[in-house]
Amino acid sequence: MATTNDLVTSRPGIKNGDGGTTISPSIYKEPAPIVDKDNPLESMMQRFDRAAEILQLEPGIYQYLKTPVKSVIVSIPIQMDDGSIQVFDGYRVIHNDILGPSKGGIRYAPDVNLDEVKALAAWMTWKCAVVDIPFGGAKGGVRCDPRKLTMQQIEKITRRFTANMLDVFGPNRDIPAPDVNTNEQIMAWILDTYSMHTHRTEPGVVTGKPLVLGGSLGRREATGRGVMHSALRGMDKIGLKPKNATVAVEGFGNVGSISAELLHEQGAKIIGISDISGAYHNPNGIDIAAAIKWSETHNFLLEGFPGGEKITNEELLTLNCDVLVPAAREDRITKRNAHNIQAKLIVEGANGPTTAGADPILESKGVLVVPDILANAGGVTVSYFEWVQNRGGYHWTLDVVNERLATTMNAAFDRVYDTSLKHKISLRLAAYVLAIDKVARVLRLRGIYG
């Protein structure tokens, strides 16, 4: 008898997604006033429009960059265990591929829809451009509730979805990765199905796959490691030494726990951590190794952690600390609580944790915000390294991966910082300006075919 799958409760750290979140369209000529709609899609599009204005983007290029180059919808019929047939919808959107093959995760969730996937795909375009890797942006998903499916059913869905996307996926065309509710095993099934059809093993068709199948060393920690590099750079800009820094981290999954661990290793004092089950505060410093162990042995929750005083998740965000790392989910710092933030530096491990409405409040308070499309781009950067290793048929050592990640993240931070000085804008807007400018310049050089 088949059992329900463990994808939705997968261990923190085995999800190796490139990351992504949501946007929605607005009008360039009449940028919407900054409002707090608690909608990451809206928030992102407001920032895109402001960056487009700063760049004085031609209306044609603006339209081009807002529109995905390809949106594919497929139906996925699956025979269920009782013999009945159920049909699922599968999506893949390539937002842009002029910098190189498109890159982005695949999510399995009941609320997956075309608009969301389009938005997430655009976000990937900007993220890849910020860190200067030769990828475009894409995203995909299957509308299903993995909690109600067996592993066998998920395997069938994955294989049929891949078979339907044979003309879309490809190591030189479009490269998926894990995202919400997908993991290494699902990447292995995509790799296998694609390879069966092309009659050769194609490890480069997906990233975030198991190490033994061509995954990269360091991929699991890559996003948290990138957050750590961004945090160190940010601390330097505000004249804060890691050994004097106090840090609060929201979210204790892959990104949050690894960011906390690595910042602790750098000498920072982690005084607050949280997850969905609650938040913990210890002004003397939390023992992060003990917290990770506690979570691993308590169903991946911090609940009952004895190493700190229990506070609310909202209190964690406004703790008296130097650095805040939101690494849980979107829309956590809004115009409702931005006034109360005490940190001098925010490093966005999560996608879209700060709404557009909170941006001007944080700016007026002088808080330096390292934006998501820069701070959490370590994941997609090491996905790129994984793909490069697959193409070369060679494994890099962990030291090489980590060293190249540091170089990429630090160079991206410096470019964003210089852009912010040049235009006298926030790091967030600077990251968008840099990304949009890069894609627009390549588009002008390549020209419009047809």
Q: What is the DSSP string of 289-314?
A: HHHHHHHHHTTT--TT-TTSEEE-HH
Among positions 37, 147, 173, 329, the unique one binding ligand NAD when judged by CB under 6 A: 329
CA-wise closest residue to 440 among 96, 197, 114: 96
Q: Work out whether 218 is an interface residue with ligand NAD (CB under 6 A).
A: no
CB of 315 to ligand NAD, least distance (A): 11
Q: Work out whether 250 is an interface residue with ligand NAD (CB under 6 A).
A: yes
Among positions 106, 255, 273, 436, the unique one binding ligand NAD when judged by CB under 6 A: 255
Q: Which stretch binds ligand NAD (CB under 6 A): 11-19, 183-191, 282-290, 405-413?
A: 11-19
Please, which residue, 376 or 420, has the CB nearer to ligand NAD? Answer: 376
Q: Which stretch binds ligand NAD (CB under 6 A): 60-68, 194-202, 346-354, 402-410?
A: 346-354
Q: Reading across the β-sheet that carries 136-143, which strands appear in turn?
A: 70-79, 85-96, 136-143, 102-109, 174-178
8 A C-beta contact, residue 324 and residue 341: yes
Q: Work out whether 350 is an interface residue with ligand NAD (CB under 6 A).
A: yes
- Residues in a beta bridge with 102: 136, 174
Q: Cα-flanking dihedrals φ and ψ of residue 130, to 5°? A: -60, -45
70 is catalytic: no
Please, which residue, 221 or 359, has the CB nearer to ligand NAD? Answer: 221
Please state, in angstroms and as integers, the Cα–Cα distance from residue 92 to each residue in 78, 141, 172, 351, following that order: 19, 7, 16, 20
Please, which residue, 178 or 425, has the CB nearer to ligand NAD? Answer: 178
Q: Work out whether 274 is an interface residue with ligand NAD (CB under 6 A).
A: yes
Alpha carbons 31 and 34: distance in angstroms, whole number: 9
Alpha carbons 155 and 193: distance in angstroms, whole number: 10
Q: Which stretch binds ligand NAD (CB under 6 A): 73-81, 113-121, 347-355, 394-402?
A: 347-355
How is residue 403 written in tokens? 């060293």
CB of 19 to ligand NAD, least distance (A): 2
Exposure on the CB side of residue 29, measured as CA atoms within 13 A: 3
Q: Work out whether 319 is an interface residue with ligand NAD (CB under 6 A).
A: no
Residue nearest ligand NAD, Cβ-based: 253
CB of 284 to ligand NAD, least distance (A): 22
Q: Work out whether 137 is an interface residue with ligand NAD (CB under 6 A).
A: no
Q: Which of 66, 127, 139, 438 is catalytic?
A: 139
Q: Cα-flanking dihedrals φ and ψ of residue 62, to 5°? A: -60, -45
Alpha carbons 195 and 415: distance in angstroms, whole number: 39
Q: Work out whether 183 is an interface residue with ligand NAD (CB under 6 A).
A: no
Please, which residue, 204 or 379, has the CB nearer to ligand NAD? Answer: 379
E strands along 291-394, which residues?
A: 309-311, 323-326, 345-347, 368-370
Among positions 7, 12, 231, 292, the unique one binding ligand NAD when judged by CB under 6 A: 12
CA-wise closest residue to 166 among 214, 133, 198: 198
Q: Work out whether 17 is an interface residue with ligand NAD (CB under 6 A).
A: yes
Among positions 7, 19, 386, 429, the unique one binding ligand NAD when judged by CB under 6 A: 19
Please, which residue, 151 or 311, has the CB nearer to ligand NAD? Answer: 311
CB of 372 to ligand NAD, least distance (A): 7
CB of 444 to ligand NAD, least distance (A): 30
Q: Reading across the β-sheet that carries 345-347, which strands appear in turn?
A: 309-311, 278-281, 269-275, 246-250, 323-326, 345-347, 368-370
8 A C-beta contact, residue 413 and residue 233: yes
Q: Work out whether 275 is an interface residue with ligand NAD (CB under 6 A).
A: yes
* Residues recognised as catalytic: 139
Residues of the shown chain interacting with ligand NAD in the complex, contacts defined by CB under 6 A: 12, 15, 17, 19, 21, 223, 250-256, 274-276, 313, 327-329, 349-351, 376, 379
